[in-house]
């Protein structure tokens, strides 16, 4: 039987994804009609991005799963018309990209490269940073991305503490959970990395109270979600010097408005949501594997827990 697979992730992405998806389906020996335009009642699977024009899933009565191309799913989980199984993207390329971005910026702050660049004025100032073993790093959010970043940093010699809502174990990482665990995780974080999803329980998690628990002169690195941080509280902590620097890749409003205080703040680095991106070649393999699983009556990979929101 020929499967009907709707690509509902935008015409621009179609240019990047159609060949990897077609090739992957052929390699998996899946006979499929992959298209941007199909009769909703005849669709078996939807390859999806939350910024798609498709927001009403009611007509897709035959659809077996919605396969998201993004790691983030907060833009779709509250859609009451979405009753089909929803799988988020866990992509090796996306994970590697996040590891590289996080590791790069943690090392940048650890070695105080910004300070060195600012001193290119003829002054021979022999600043010697501590070794990684003396620079505790905390990661909030220990899912696929958080765990991968944590283990990369452990491999470089950093003592890493990880925190998650639900207790789990990650090799080489001191793992904490719950409210008391969060306080402990913050209190040791000379560098704090935020990799939590956006949920009702994580919005404004990093508020004035949380920031006050960080060591004096801590650095914040946020490639997770913009609403994790209370922006006014962070700006106040930066002004007081309690937080030395913030490197931010994600924001409440994107693109970040040109008049936002972050742009001009000397202790803030803005990057334009580039910490990691889904790569078509590797993401297509994940999508195809889930379609294969659906046809073989095997469990889908990376299903979203609607109650948790991710």
List active site positions.
225, 273
**CA 234 – CA 102 distance, rounded (Å):** 20
Residue 230's closest CA among 202, 249, 258, 257? 202
Q: How many CA atoms lie within 13 A of 39 on its CB side?
A: 4
Residue 191's closest CA among 100, 275, 107, 96? 107
**CA 103 – CA 153 distance, rounded (Å):** 7
**CA 231 – CA 128 distance, rounded (Å):** 32
| Packing angle, helices 144-155 and 92-110, rounded to 10 | 50
Residues 137/140/144/150 CA torsion (nearest 10 deg):
10
Cβ-based neighbours of 195, under 8 Å, separated by 6 or more: 98, 102, 139, 140, 141, 142, 143, 145, 146, 149, 223, 224
Two structure tokens written together for 66 = 């919605």
């Amino acid at each position: 039987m020929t499967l009907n697979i709707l690509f509902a992730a935008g015409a621009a992405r179609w240019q990047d994804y159609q060949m990897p998806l077609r090739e992957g389906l052929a390699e998996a020996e899946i006979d499929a009609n992959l298209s941007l335009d199909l009769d909703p009642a005849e669709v078996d699977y939807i390859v999806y991005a939350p910024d798609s024009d498709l927001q009403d899933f009611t007509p897709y009565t035959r659809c077996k799963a919605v396969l998201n191309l993004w790691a983030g799913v907060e833009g779709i989980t509250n859609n009451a018309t979405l009753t089909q199984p929803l799988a988020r993207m866990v992509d090796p390329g996306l994970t590697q990209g996040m590891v590289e971005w996080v590791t790069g910026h943690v090392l940048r702050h650890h070695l105080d490269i910004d300070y060195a660049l600012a001193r290119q004025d003829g002054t021979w100032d022999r600043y010697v940073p501590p070794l990684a073993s003396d620079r505790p790093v905390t990661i909030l959010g220990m899912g696929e991305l958080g765990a991968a970043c944590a283990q990369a940093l452990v491999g470089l010699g950093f003592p890493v503490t990880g925190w998650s809502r639900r207790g789990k174990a990650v090799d080489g990482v001191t793992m904490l959970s719950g409210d008391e665990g969060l306080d402990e995780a913050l209190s040791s974080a000379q560098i704090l990395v935020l990799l939590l999803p956006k949920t009702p329980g994580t919005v404004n998690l990093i508020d004035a109270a949380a920031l006050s628990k960080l060591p004096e002169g801590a650095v914040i690195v946020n490639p997770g979600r913009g609403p994790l941080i209370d922006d006014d509280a962070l700006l106040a902590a930066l002004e007081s010097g309690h937080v030395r620097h913030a490197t931010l890749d994600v924001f409440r409003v994107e693109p970040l408005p040109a008049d936002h205080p972050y742009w001009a703040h000397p202790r803030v680095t803005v990057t334009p949501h580039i910490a990691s991106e889904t790569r078509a070649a590797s993401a297509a393999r994940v999508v195809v594997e889930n379609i294969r699983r659906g046809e073989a009556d095997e469990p889908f990979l990376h299903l979203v827990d609607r109650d948790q929101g991710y």
